[in-house]
Amino acid sequence: MTDFPARFNGLRHVTIGTKDGGCYSYQIERVRFASRFAFITFQDVTSREQAECLRGGEIQIAEGERVLLPADHYFRHEIVGLDVYLEGESLLGKVDSVLETGGNDVYVVKKGSREFFIPALKSVVKQIDLFKKEMIIRPMEGLLDL
């Protein structure tokens, strides 16, 4: 998942977090692009079985090597886990995941068994404070139906 696929051209090392909870460092040997995919060859991954263990994993980039984003833009990992508050009111829940819809992202906010879908629009999301780990929203009418 990236909005900046060309970034892989400049990377030499990455860490891969696997589905089973493992975390492995690899040196990048080669990168090629086809359609909307980046195909990465890792040094020391020489068999199909070794590569299969990485399937479904997540490539993690060192903090100092990530792409600089414009103001008011955030990486998914910065959004997931934020506490979400209604403007001037109480805690709505915590961001559990981010959905890509094509037009705008949607934040899935959970509180107990309840789930809310908050569009990532400036008209709704009024403030994100990564230091405080919180998001303040002003939901449009009917969005929450509390």
Structural tokens at position 10: 């400049």
Nearest Cα to 60, choosing from 15, 109, 108, 107? 15
With contact defined as beta carbons under 8 Å apart, do 99 and 106 qualify? yes
Does 125 map to a domain? yes
How high is the pLDDT of residue 92? 94
How high is the pLDDT of residue 146? 55
Does 114 map to a domain? yes
How high is the pLDDT of residue 98? 92
Structural tokens at position 47: 């068999």
Does 54 map to a domain? yes
What residues have CB less than 8 Å from 1, skipping those under 6 apart? 58, 76
Structural tokens at position 7: 């970034």
Domain termination site, one of 16, 40, 65: 65
Give 7's DSSP letter. Answer: G
Distance CA 76, CA 99 (A): 10
How high is the pLDDT of residue 122? 92
Q: Block means of pLDDT (10 residues each) for the chain, length 146 residues?
A: 76 86 89 84 90 86 81 89 92 94 90 93 94 94 76
How many structural domains is the chain composed of?
A: 2
Domain of residue 43, residue span? 5-65
Distance CA 123, CA 121 (A): 5
The pTM score is: 0.73
| 90 and 58 belong to one structural domain | no
